[in-house]
Amino acid sequence: MDYVNFDALVSTEWLAEHLDGQDLVVVDASFFVPGGAAPAKAQYDAGHIPGSVFFDINDIADPDATQDHTVPSAAVFSEKVGALGISNTTRVIAYDAMGGGCAAARVWWMFRAYGHDKIAVLDGGLTKWTSENRPVSTEIPEITARLFSADKEALARVRNKEDIRQNIDAEGYQVVDARAAGRFAGTDPEPKADLRSGHIPGSRNVPFASLFEPASKTFKSAADIKAQFDAAGVDLDAPIATTCGSGVTACTVALSAYLLGKDDVAIYDGSWVDWGSDPDTPIETGPVS
Protein backbone atom coordinates (compact mmCIF):
# COMPACT_ATOMS: atom_id res chain seq x y z
CA MET A 1 0.00 0.00 0.00
CA ASP A 2 1.68 3.20 -1.19
CA TYR A 3 0.93 6.70 0.07
CA VAL A 4 -2.08 8.28 -1.59
CA ASN A 5 -0.70 11.80 -1.10
CA PHE A 6 3.02 11.27 -1.54
CA ASP A 7 3.55 15.01 -2.18
CA ALA A 8 3.73 15.67 1.58
CA LEU A 9 7.22 14.17 1.83
CA VAL A 10 10.54 14.52 0.05
CA SER A 11 13.56 12.28 0.56
CA THR A 12 17.04 13.34 1.60
CA GLU A 13 18.20 12.26 -1.86
CA TRP A 14 15.68 14.56 -3.52
CA LEU A 15 16.62 17.52 -1.35
CA ALA A 16 20.33 17.03 -1.94
CA GLU A 17 19.69 17.17 -5.69
CA HIS A 18 17.42 20.22 -5.52
CA LEU A 19 19.03 22.20 -2.69
CA ASP A 20 20.09 24.97 -5.06
CA GLY A 21 16.78 24.95 -6.92
CA GLN A 22 15.11 28.15 -7.98
CA ASP A 23 12.29 29.45 -5.78
CA LEU A 24 12.89 26.78 -3.15
CA VAL A 25 13.16 27.67 0.56
CA VAL A 26 14.19 25.11 3.17
CA VAL A 27 13.10 25.88 6.72
CA ASP A 28 14.43 24.35 9.92
CA ALA A 29 11.30 24.01 12.04
CA SER A 30 12.90 22.21 14.99
CA PHE A 31 11.21 22.62 18.35
CA PHE A 32 11.97 20.68 21.52
CA VAL A 33 9.61 19.42 24.23
CA PRO A 34 10.61 20.37 26.84
CA GLY A 35 12.73 23.35 25.87
CA GLY A 36 10.87 25.02 23.03
CA ALA A 37 12.44 27.11 20.29
CA ALA A 38 15.56 28.38 22.11
CA PRO A 39 17.56 25.10 22.13
CA ALA A 40 16.32 24.40 18.60
CA LYS A 41 17.72 27.75 17.44
CA ALA A 42 21.00 26.93 19.19
CA GLN A 43 21.09 23.63 17.32
CA TYR A 44 20.41 25.48 14.05
CA ASP A 45 23.27 27.90 14.76
CA ALA A 46 25.61 24.98 15.45
CA GLY A 47 24.82 23.30 12.14
CA HIS A 48 21.90 23.20 9.72
CA ILE A 49 21.11 22.08 6.19
CA PRO A 50 22.95 24.57 3.96
CA GLY A 51 20.83 27.54 2.96
CA SER A 52 18.00 26.74 5.34
CA VAL A 53 16.35 29.42 7.46
CA PHE A 54 15.03 29.00 10.98
CA PHE A 55 11.25 28.86 11.33
CA ASP A 56 10.38 29.80 14.92
CA ILE A 57 6.85 28.52 15.59
CA ASN A 58 6.67 30.69 18.71
CA ASP A 59 7.36 33.79 16.63
CA ILE A 60 5.18 32.92 13.64
CA ALA A 61 2.16 32.79 15.91
CA ASP A 62 -0.63 34.90 17.37
CA PRO A 63 1.19 37.70 19.23
CA ASP A 64 -1.77 38.27 21.57
CA ALA A 65 -2.34 34.65 22.61
CA THR A 66 -1.61 33.46 26.14
CA GLN A 67 -0.24 30.13 24.90
CA ASP A 68 2.86 29.52 22.80
CA HIS A 69 2.68 28.92 19.02
CA THR A 70 -1.02 29.66 18.70
CA VAL A 71 -2.13 29.80 15.06
CA PRO A 72 -1.84 33.43 13.89
CA SER A 73 -4.14 35.40 11.64
CA ALA A 74 -3.59 35.18 7.90
CA ALA A 75 -2.12 38.69 7.98
CA VAL A 76 0.48 37.81 10.62
CA PHE A 77 1.36 34.54 8.94
CA SER A 78 1.75 36.27 5.57
CA GLU A 79 4.04 38.95 6.99
CA LYS A 80 6.20 36.52 8.94
CA VAL A 81 6.74 33.92 6.22
CA GLY A 82 7.29 36.64 3.63
CA ALA A 83 10.13 37.87 5.84
CA LEU A 84 11.71 34.41 5.44
CA GLY A 85 11.91 34.91 1.68
CA ILE A 86 8.79 32.89 0.88
CA SER A 87 6.25 33.96 -1.74
CA ASN A 88 3.13 32.30 -3.08
CA THR A 89 5.18 30.64 -5.81
CA THR A 90 7.86 29.28 -3.46
CA ARG A 91 8.20 25.59 -2.81
CA VAL A 92 8.85 25.13 0.91
CA ILE A 93 10.58 22.12 2.46
CA ALA A 94 10.33 21.88 6.23
CA TYR A 95 12.54 19.71 8.40
CA ASP A 96 13.24 19.22 12.08
CA ALA A 97 15.39 17.07 14.33
CA MET A 98 12.71 14.37 14.66
CA GLY A 99 11.76 13.51 11.10
CA GLY A 100 8.67 15.71 11.13
CA GLY A 101 7.44 15.25 14.69
CA CYS A 102 8.65 18.53 16.16
CA ALA A 103 7.65 20.79 14.37
CA ALA A 104 8.02 20.33 10.61
CA ALA A 105 4.56 18.78 10.38
CA ARG A 106 3.16 21.80 12.22
CA VAL A 107 4.68 24.09 9.58
CA TRP A 108 3.34 21.82 6.83
CA TRP A 109 -0.15 21.94 8.33
CA MET A 110 -0.13 25.73 8.74
CA PHE A 111 0.94 26.41 5.16
CA ARG A 112 -1.78 24.11 3.84
CA ALA A 113 -4.38 25.63 6.15
CA TYR A 114 -3.54 29.02 4.66
CA GLY A 115 -3.95 27.66 1.13
CA HIS A 116 -0.28 27.12 0.20
CA ASP A 117 0.12 23.57 -1.14
CA LYS A 118 3.74 23.91 -2.28
CA ILE A 119 4.94 22.51 1.04
CA ALA A 120 6.54 19.19 2.00
CA VAL A 121 8.37 17.67 4.95
CA LEU A 122 11.87 16.21 4.68
CA ASP A 123 11.33 12.54 5.50
CA GLY A 124 13.74 11.61 8.27
CA GLY A 125 14.66 15.25 8.84
CA LEU A 126 18.02 16.27 10.21
CA THR A 127 18.52 12.80 11.73
CA LYS A 128 18.60 11.06 8.37
CA TRP A 129 20.42 13.92 6.65
CA THR A 130 23.35 13.84 9.08
CA SER A 131 23.40 10.03 9.31
CA GLU A 132 24.13 10.01 5.58
CA ASN A 133 27.04 12.41 6.12
CA ARG A 134 25.39 15.12 4.09
CA PRO A 135 26.71 18.66 4.55
CA VAL A 136 25.68 21.02 7.30
CA SER A 137 26.51 24.69 7.62
CA THR A 138 26.82 27.33 10.30
CA GLU A 139 26.41 30.13 7.75
CA ILE A 140 23.23 32.15 8.23
CA PRO A 141 21.82 32.91 4.78
CA GLU A 142 20.93 36.43 3.76
CA ILE A 143 17.18 36.71 3.29
CA THR A 144 15.36 38.96 0.86
CA ALA A 145 11.81 39.48 2.04
CA ARG A 146 9.09 38.61 -0.45
CA LEU A 147 5.35 39.11 -0.64
CA PHE A 148 3.26 36.21 0.64
CA SER A 149 -0.51 36.45 0.75
CA ALA A 150 -2.53 33.75 2.49
CA ASP A 151 -5.60 33.05 0.40
CA LYS A 152 -7.77 31.95 3.31
CA GLU A 153 -7.89 31.97 7.10
CA ALA A 154 -6.56 28.88 8.86
CA LEU A 155 -9.14 29.17 11.63
CA ALA A 156 -11.56 26.96 9.69
CA ARG A 157 -9.16 24.11 10.48
CA VAL A 158 -8.71 25.07 14.15
CA ARG A 159 -10.74 23.75 17.07
CA ASN A 160 -10.88 25.46 20.48
CA LYS A 161 -11.78 24.25 23.95
CA GLU A 162 -15.47 25.03 23.61
CA ASP A 163 -15.63 23.18 20.29
CA ILE A 164 -14.09 20.11 21.91
CA ARG A 165 -16.32 20.36 24.98
CA GLN A 166 -19.45 20.43 22.82
CA ASN A 167 -18.20 17.56 20.70
CA ILE A 168 -18.01 15.21 23.70
CA ASP A 169 -21.80 14.92 23.58
CA ALA A 170 -22.38 15.76 19.93
CA GLU A 171 -19.76 13.30 18.63
CA GLY A 172 -19.54 15.23 15.37
CA TYR A 173 -15.91 14.23 14.87
CA GLN A 174 -13.31 11.91 16.33
CA VAL A 175 -10.67 13.42 18.61
CA VAL A 176 -7.30 11.73 18.12
CA ASP A 177 -4.58 12.33 20.73
CA ALA A 178 -0.94 12.18 19.59
CA ARG A 179 0.63 11.96 23.05
CA ALA A 180 2.41 8.85 24.31
CA ALA A 181 0.18 6.10 25.69
CA GLY A 182 1.23 6.72 29.30
CA ARG A 183 0.33 10.39 29.18
CA PHE A 184 -2.95 9.59 27.45
CA ALA A 185 -3.84 7.02 30.10
CA GLY A 186 -2.76 9.32 32.92
CA THR A 187 -0.15 6.90 34.25
CA ASP A 188 2.80 9.08 33.23
CA PRO A 189 3.17 12.69 34.40
CA GLU A 190 2.80 15.65 32.08
CA PRO A 191 5.95 17.67 31.27
CA LYS A 192 4.31 20.74 32.79
CA ALA A 193 3.67 20.33 36.50
CA ASP A 194 0.43 22.33 36.56
CA LEU A 195 -1.40 20.00 34.17
CA ARG A 196 -3.74 17.22 35.19
CA SER A 197 -3.18 13.76 33.72
CA GLY A 198 -5.52 11.87 31.43
CA HIS A 199 -7.32 12.58 28.18
CA ILE A 200 -10.38 14.19 26.65
CA PRO A 201 -13.41 11.92 27.16
CA GLY A 202 -14.09 9.78 24.12
CA SER A 203 -10.77 10.53 22.42
CA ARG A 204 -8.55 7.96 20.75
CA ASN A 205 -4.79 7.56 21.03
CA VAL A 206 -2.34 7.37 18.11
CA PRO A 207 1.05 8.22 19.64
CA PHE A 208 2.95 10.25 17.07
CA ALA A 209 6.17 8.29 17.69
CA SER A 210 4.40 5.12 16.54
CA LEU A 211 4.18 6.61 13.05
CA PHE A 212 7.99 6.77 12.56
CA GLU A 213 10.65 4.18 11.96
CA PRO A 214 12.63 4.31 15.23
CA ALA A 215 16.15 4.56 13.80
CA SER A 216 15.75 6.67 10.66
CA LYS A 217 12.83 8.84 11.90
CA THR A 218 11.25 8.38 8.48
CA PHE A 219 7.50 7.87 8.28
CA LYS A 220 6.38 4.26 8.32
CA SER A 221 4.82 2.65 5.28
CA ALA A 222 1.22 3.47 4.42
CA ALA A 223 0.16 0.00 5.55
CA ASP A 224 1.87 0.39 8.92
CA ILE A 225 0.42 3.87 9.45
CA LYS A 226 -3.04 2.58 8.57
CA ALA A 227 -2.55 -0.23 11.10
CA GLN A 228 -1.87 2.33 13.85
CA PHE A 229 -5.11 4.18 13.10
CA ASP A 230 -7.05 0.92 12.90
CA ALA A 231 -5.65 -0.31 16.22
CA ALA A 232 -6.77 2.93 17.87
CA GLY A 233 -10.28 2.58 16.45
CA VAL A 234 -9.98 5.64 14.22
CA ASP A 235 -12.19 5.76 11.13
CA LEU A 236 -10.32 7.67 8.43
CA ASP A 237 -13.53 8.11 6.45
CA ALA A 238 -15.07 10.20 9.27
CA PRO A 239 -14.15 13.73 10.48
CA ILE A 240 -11.10 14.04 12.74
CA ALA A 241 -9.59 16.68 15.00
CA THR A 242 -6.18 15.91 16.43
CA THR A 243 -4.71 17.01 19.75
CA CYS A 244 -1.47 16.53 21.67
CA GLY A 245 0.44 18.45 24.34
CA SER A 246 0.42 21.90 22.76
CA GLY A 247 -0.66 21.51 19.13
CA VAL A 248 2.64 20.42 17.56
CA THR A 249 2.69 16.62 17.28
CA ALA A 250 -1.05 16.70 16.60
CA CYS A 251 0.04 17.89 13.16
CA THR A 252 2.19 14.77 12.72
CA VAL A 253 -0.95 12.67 13.05
CA ALA A 254 -2.70 14.99 10.60
CA LEU A 255 0.16 14.61 8.10
CA SER A 256 0.06 10.82 8.50
CA ALA A 257 -3.66 10.82 7.78
CA TYR A 258 -2.97 12.99 4.72
CA LEU A 259 -0.48 10.43 3.44
CA LEU A 260 -3.36 7.95 3.49
CA GLY A 261 -5.62 10.31 1.55
CA LYS A 262 -7.38 12.31 4.27
CA ASP A 263 -6.85 16.02 3.69
CA ASP A 264 -9.35 17.69 6.03
CA VAL A 265 -7.99 17.02 9.54
CA ALA A 266 -8.50 19.84 12.04
CA ILE A 267 -6.23 20.69 14.98
CA TYR A 268 -7.16 21.47 18.59
CA ASP A 269 -4.62 24.24 18.82
CA GLY A 270 -4.53 24.58 22.60
CA SER A 271 -4.43 20.82 23.09
CA TRP A 272 -3.63 19.43 26.55
CA VAL A 273 -1.98 22.63 27.77
CA ASP A 274 -5.38 24.27 27.29
CA TRP A 275 -7.59 21.37 28.39
CA GLY A 276 -5.53 19.90 31.23
CA SER A 277 -4.92 23.25 32.92
CA ASP A 278 -8.64 24.00 33.25
CA PRO A 279 -10.14 22.46 36.42
CA ASP A 280 -13.60 22.60 34.86
CA THR A 281 -12.92 20.41 31.84
CA PRO A 282 -13.80 16.71 32.14
CA ILE A 283 -11.04 14.13 31.80
CA GLU A 284 -10.80 10.37 31.60
CA THR A 285 -7.90 8.14 32.59
CA GLY A 286 -6.85 4.69 31.53
CA PRO A 287 -6.52 3.29 28.01
CA VAL A 288 -9.35 3.39 25.49
CA SER A 289 -11.74 0.53 26.21
Active site residues: 244
DSSP H helical ranges for the chain: 12-18, 37-46, 74-82, 104-113, 125-131, 161-170, 181-185, 222-231, 250-259, 271-275
Instruction: Return the DSSP state at 221.
Output: P
Edge-to-edge order in the sheet of strand 158-159: 158-159, 266-268, 240-243, 174-177, 204-205
Provide the angle, in degrees to the nearest 10, between the axes of the packed helices 250-259 and 222-231.
Answer: 120
Instruction: Return the DSSP state at 139.
Output: P
The radius of gyration of the chain's CA atoms, rounded to the nearest angstrom, is: 18
Q: Per residue in 122-144, is it b (16+ CB within 10 Å) or e — as a string?
A: bbbbbbbbbeeebeeeeeeeeee
Q: By the 8 A CB rule, do 145 and 34 touch?
A: no
